[in-house]
Homo-oligomer: A and B are copies of this chain.
Amino acid sequence: MWKVGIIGATGYTGLVLISTLLPHPEIKITLVTSNTYKGKKISEIFPLLKGLFEEKLVPTDENHKGKCDVYFLCLPHGSSMEMAKTLFDSKSIIIDLSADFRFEDVNVYEQTYTKHTAKKLIPNAVFGLPELYRNRIKGAKLIANPGCYPTSAILALYPLLKETLIKGDIFIDSKSGVSGAGRETKLGSMFCEVSEGFRAYNVGIHRHEPEIQKEVSKFVSMKVTFVPHLLPINRGILTTIYSKLKTFTKTKGLIKLYKEIYRDEPFIRIMEEGTYPDTHFTRFSNYCDIGIKSFDDGRVVIISAIDNLVKGASGQAVQNMNIALGIDETLALTGIPQYP
């Protein structure tokens, strides 16, 4: 059994890590931390864990080096790189759910977030999107788990990028459930400020835009326009992407291409012609569903759905852990989507 620590366990990504990992046959959660709730049992914070997992929370700020084989960092950016500096060694695997190690180019990181205080670790970091970087994740010691929006956008675009089929601007219209904003109290996440409403936010200035752009730029020179919106649901991201193909390809052909490129991927499902994803159908699962339609002048629409807390965060983190440990990539991730 591998020993696993969850650093900052009392947010939604922490909770989903716990409920995903509890039935995992090859690991054991031996450490859960929180500064705010230290000393309490995690089941006091999340009563749904009553009788299932009653581990006591220890302070995040203690030294946890060497205690675990795998550490999941569920901390704010900034704090996360500091924690990584403390924990990093040649033995354990660090999977960071913050943005701190997602950028190869530290300048882009610093323009987007804050001063980077662990630059030496950057070369060790792998961008943890298994569908693109599985080989590098194997054996990695520091894995930067991608953002939720970037996961949904990059997986939707990747086959077109890989085959350099796109020529026009890339407009990414994403809609996310509220859990994407985390569990800290803020006015914009209050029930009455969200329910029965819908709005765009951070138009053209969201921090996930550079994260998407850096991956797109590895293939093509187009600018992406990213507009996130807040959905009055708990979980789920639906991303609708608009662009133009170099040469017209029928929808059928594009679907064939997507199925081909993703044929060995356990968590990607390509929809049949005329059907499109619904966040309902990926909810509580690690799936990313993708639908496509092209128009005869080359316009193309790609739609993807994920659960932002699973494939967009904790599920993908466990997938990365499985790959890095060299065990079956799907362990503990075979949960069936749930609705209603």
- Residue A193 is within 8 A (CB to CB) of chain B in the complex: yes
A53 nearest CB neighbor, chain B only: B336
- Against B, the Cβ 8 Å flags (1 = close, 0 = not) of A280-315 are 111111000101010101010101010001000000
A178 & B199 in contact (Cβ 8 Å cutoff): no
**A48 to chain B: which residues have CB within 8 Å?**
280-283, 285, 336-339
Residue A227 lies at the interface, judged by CB distance under 8 Å to chain B: yes
Contact B204 A301 (CB under 8 A): yes
CB–CB A194/B196 < 8 A: no
Whether B223 lies near A240 (C-beta < 8 A) is: no
Contact of A234 among B271, B291, B340 (CB under 8 A): B340
Contacting B at CB under 8 A, from A125-153, are none
Contact between B279 and A199, CB atoms less than 8 A apart:
yes
> Cβ of A191 and Cβ of B234 under 8 Å apart?
yes
CB nearest to A300 among chain B residues: B225
A183–B305 CA distance with the chains assembled, in angstroms:
24
A102 close to B (CB within 8 Å): no
Say which residue of B203, B223, B271 sits within 8 Å of A276 (CB atoms).
Answer: B203
Bound complex: CA A194 to CA B54 (Å): 24
Q: Is the CB–CB distance between A278 and B47 below 8 Å?
A: yes
Distance in angstroms from A22 CB to nearest chain B CB is: 6
Query: What 0/1 pattern do residues 219 to 231 of A give for CB contact below 8 A with B?
Result: 0000101010101
Give the shortest distance, in Å, between A42 (CB) and chain B (any CB).
13
A196 contacts B238, C-beta separation under 8 Å = no
| A171 close to chain B: CB less than 8 A | yes
- B339 adjacent to A197 (CB under 8 Å): yes
Over the window 155-189 of chain A, the binary record of Cβ atoms lying under 8 Å from chain B Cβ atoms (1 yes, 0 no) is 00000000000001101010100110001011101
A47 / chain B contacts, CB cutoff of 8 Å = 271, 275, 278, 281
Instruction: Contacts A234-B196, A278-B47 given; indicate if A203 touches B301 (C-beta within 8 A).
Output: yes
Q: Are B183 and A186 in contact (CB under 8 A)?
A: no
Docked-complex contact B179 and A192, CB < 8 angstroms: yes
